[in-house]
Structure 1
């Protein structure tokens, strides 16, 4: 079943790092740079647009969180993230902080 970008946009939610941590442990967490539109990335994943996803990965705009990021977020368990489930992945994007 093909999903539209509009449907994906409606599925974006906001949650905290504590809630997302379990998805990291199973290897399903993908970090999306804030310069990208989370809906567009979700649509590319759902549509299996390998070339586009590979370009984002190569540019460092999409990928697994780094150890340093995880360490920081573990100290800020209530840090907010936009998230979108595109099974088997959970795409996340850091929400801006008050200082940004």
Structure 2
């Protein structure tokens, strides 16, 4: 396992939607599909693996949260997400209810 992956693993956490709102307001949140491993995505972004990241974007597995999604989350401010901070971004993945 790489040192980068170990470093990223240490920053994995859970957060409530309420805590993520300031990051959304600065356009720094990236929603990661539940079909992907959050650490894999973080590692790809941190190591400039452009081909993987572009493929995930093309397949809509990585995206900015939509207005509809944010509206749903605003109605449930305790909604929880797995998070990975990768300056300047916060990668988030919905936790199934």
The interval holding the TM-score normalised by the smaller chain is: over 0.9
Taking only aligned residues, the RMSD between alpha carbons, in angstroms, comes to 1.3
Q: 1:14 to 1:71 in 2, by over 3 A?
A: same
SS at match of 1:44: helix
Contact 1:3 1:46 in 2 (8 A): no
Equivalenced residues, count? 96
How do 1:1-100 and structure 2 match up within 5 A? Answer: 4-97=4-97
Structure 1: segments with no counterpart, 5+ residues = none
1:6 deviation in Å? Answer: 2.1
4+ long deviations beyond 3 Å: none
Scaled by the length of structure 2, the TM-score of the pair is 0.94
Unpaired stretches in structure 2, ≥5 consecutive residues: none
